[in-house]
């Protein structure tokens, strides 16, 4: 890109596009400085303070869509027509600096070198938010989501996720890679364009640290036993040769479903071609079932939990966690005092009831 950011095009197997891609002709300002993260001494969590994000686009009209291919009247982020494209975020929460200079990414002088450094005690600790944030555009269309794509396009996106997971995991200082999709203004989406993101963190995230603690407590075969437990229960919503989708036993959200491979794989990069082929179909069926629950599209967060880059890879299993705050056609669950302040969740809908409704919606 014109300011040095990397952009990668992924073509459908049945693409009609030529192999050539245009040069980005825009005059762009230099990239913002790498954000700073601060440690919350009470929880041990790192908070990235990324002020440049305040300037990101907010629900622009279709003719100024920053994720559409460039035109003479729309100097967007993508120079060429595309099937799927991935590029570095212009206002990232992490990066562009890394723990070592790599390509166009500079060295952060105070980059954390490992978990021991990040976990050290002390008040007022701060570090550079090294890492990388990428945007994944599922389609050149102005509106839609992953669930509105064709099977061929879904397979291309999955291939992009897997390829980027492998590439990002190899960058210096990266501890965890997280692909996700936010869908709907109720979630806080600021662009209607069908897209997701990939965050590459300089630490293992709090959610994953909790999973690692659970594995330490329950045993290294925890995910295998969870799959066996859910497979035999009433909360399964989809089953296939390689994948299973279920509403978890202790679901927090009005709509929460997990999608996991039947064999152990730590991340999308470790999935086989057959698993990726089937995932394209299974995931589309699941998302279209979620949208069939109501007369209007369902807001959600689709979060791909992957094992950390350097730890827990034999125990943390890849899985999707799809959650929605929608508890009725015209009602949302808001995280108020108990959930937000204390982390003590109260579920509004029994998981078994949620699973039954979702099975019916998928069948429709």
Query: What is the predicted pLDDT for the residue at 150?
Result: 97
User: Which residues have CB under 8 Å from 175's CB, separation 6+?
Assistant: 115, 201, 202, 203, 204, 308, 309, 310
Q: Is 208 helix (H, G, I), strand (E, B) or coil?
A: helix
CA dihedral 302, 306, 308, 309 (to 10 degrees): -110
- Return the CATH architecture of domain 7-205: 2-Layer Sandwich (3.30)
Chunk the chain into consecutive blocks of 10 residues (it has 364) and report each block's average pLDDT, rounded to whole numbers: 97 96 95 94 95 77 94 96 97 94 88 79 95 98 96 98 98 97 92 96 97 98 98 97 98 97 98 98 98 96 98 97 95 93 94 97 95
Q: Count Cβ neighbours within 10 Å for each residue of 319-346 and write b for 16 or more, e otherwise.
A: bbbbbbbbbeeeeebeeeeeeeeeeeee
Query: What is the predicted pLDDT for the residue at 89?
Result: 96
Query: What is the predicted pLDDT for the residue at 161?
Result: 98
Query: What is the predicted pLDDT for the residue at 155?
Result: 98
* Superfamily grouping for domain 208-363: HIT-like (3.30.428.10)
Nearest to 178 by CA among 149, 208, 144: 208
Residue ranges matching CATH 3.30.428.10 in the chain = 7-205, 208-363
Across-strand partners of 135?
Answer: 87, 197
Query: What is the predicted pLDDT for the residue at 114?
Result: 72
Query: What is the predicted pLDDT for the residue at 280?
Result: 98
Phi, psi of 178 (to 5 degrees): -135, 100
State the chain's maximal CA–CA distance in angstroms: 59
Measure Cα distances from 55 to 58, 266, 329 in Å.
Answer: 9, 35, 33
Query: What is the predicted pLDDT for the residue at 51?
Result: 87
In what helix (H) or strand (E) does residue 88 lie, and over which residues does it extend? strand 84-88
* Distance from C-alpha of 10 to C-alpha of 8, rounded to nearest angstrom: 7
Nearest to 309 by CA among 189, 78, 131: 131
Catalytic residue among 192, 195, 264, 319: 195
Q: How far is CA 250 from the centre of its chain?
A: 22
Query: What is the predicted pLDDT for the residue at 52?
Result: 81
Tokens 């595309």 correspond to 82
Based on the residue annotation, tell me whether 63 is a catalytic residue of this protein.
no
């Amino acid at each position: 890109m014109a300011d040095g950011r990397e952009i990668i095009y992924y073509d459908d197997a049945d693409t009609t596009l030529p192999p050539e891609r245009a040069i980005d002709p825009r005059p762009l300002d230099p990239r913002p400085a790498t954000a700073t993260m601060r440690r919350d001494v009470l929880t041990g969590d790192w908070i990235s303070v990324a002020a440049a994000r305040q300037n990101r686009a907010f629900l622009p009209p279709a003719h100024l869509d920053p994720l559409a291919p460039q035109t003479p009247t729309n100097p967007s982020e993508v120079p060429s027509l595309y099937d799927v494209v991935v590029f570095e975020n212009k206002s990232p929460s992490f990066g562009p600096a890394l723990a070592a200079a790599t390509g166009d990414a500079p060295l952060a002088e105070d980059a954390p070198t490992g978990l021991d450094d990040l976990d050290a005690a002390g008040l007022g600790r701060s570090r550079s938010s090294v890492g990388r944030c990428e945007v994944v555009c599922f389609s050149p269309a102005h509106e839609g989501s992953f669930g509105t794509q064709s099977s061929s396009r879904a397979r291309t996106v999955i291939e992009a996720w897997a390829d980027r997971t492998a590439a990002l995991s190899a960058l210096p200082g990266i501890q965890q890679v997280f692909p996700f999709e936010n869908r709907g203004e109720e979630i806080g989406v600021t662009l209607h364009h069908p897209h997701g993101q990939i965050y590459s963190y300089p630490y293992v995230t709090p959610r994953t640290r909790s999973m690692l603690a659970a594995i330490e407590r329950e045993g290294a075969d925890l995910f295998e036993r969870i799959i066996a437990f859910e497979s035999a229960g009433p909360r399964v919503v989809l089953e296939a040769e390689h994948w299973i989708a279920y509403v978890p036993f202790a679901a927090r959200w009005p709509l929460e479903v997990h999608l996991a491979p039947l064999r152990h794989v730590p991340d999308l990069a470790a999935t086989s071609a057959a698993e990726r082929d089937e995932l394209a179909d299974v995931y589309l069926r699941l998302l279209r079932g979620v949208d069939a629950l109501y007369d209007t599209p369902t807001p959600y967060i689709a979060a791909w939990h992957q094992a950390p880059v350097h730890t827990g890879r034999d125990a943390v299993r890849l899985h999707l966690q799809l959650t929605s705050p929608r508890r009725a056609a015209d009602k949302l669950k808001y995280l108020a005092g108990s959930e937000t302040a204390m982390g003590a969740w109260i579920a509004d809908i029994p998981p078994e009831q949620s699973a039954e409704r979702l099975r019916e919606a998928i069948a429709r």
